[in-house]
Amino acid sequence: MGTGDPNGMGMAHALASSMGGIKTAGDLVARMQLRKMRLNEAKQYVAEKLGVSVLDLSDSTVMRTVREELDIGVVTAVPGLAKGLEAKARIADLLDIHINSVERLKAKTGLGAGAPA
């Protein structure tokens, strides 16, 4: 990774940033950690829900394909795929979690479980 290596800085950033957020599955693992799961437990849970290995969670190529197939949002918007709250709602369903903004949207629009009776 010397000065002549064109990928040197990119590899250093990839290693330093670990899971990679929405580029991989870092955002999904972080959501599970916010629900009091330990890191390894959160990674295993997310991997099972996505149908991939724990190692695949940090592979941006694999996760791009998985995110597109499951329609749970990607870094660069793809026409016809979920973005914003739609992606967040799909993530909530996929991971079996409660996300306040999704539940509030459901209640306000009369959609789903968040709607008043």
Q: Please name the residues in contact with 27: beta carbons below 8 A apart, sequence gap of 6 or more.
A: 21
Cα(9)–Cα(2) distance, integer angstroms:
9
Residue pair 107/116 in contact (Cβ under 8 Å)? The answer is yes
Which pLDDT score, from 0 to 100, does residue 16 have? 43
Asked if the model's pLDDT at residue 92 lies above 90, the reply is yes
59-88 pLDDT, tens per residue?
A: 999 999 999 999 999 888 889 999 999 999
Quick one: CA torsion of 93, 99, 102, 106, rounded to 10 degrees?
80
**Mind listing the pLDDT tens digit for each residue in 27-47?**
899 999 999 999 999 999 999
Domain extents in the chain: 17-109
Both structure tokens of 73? 């949002």
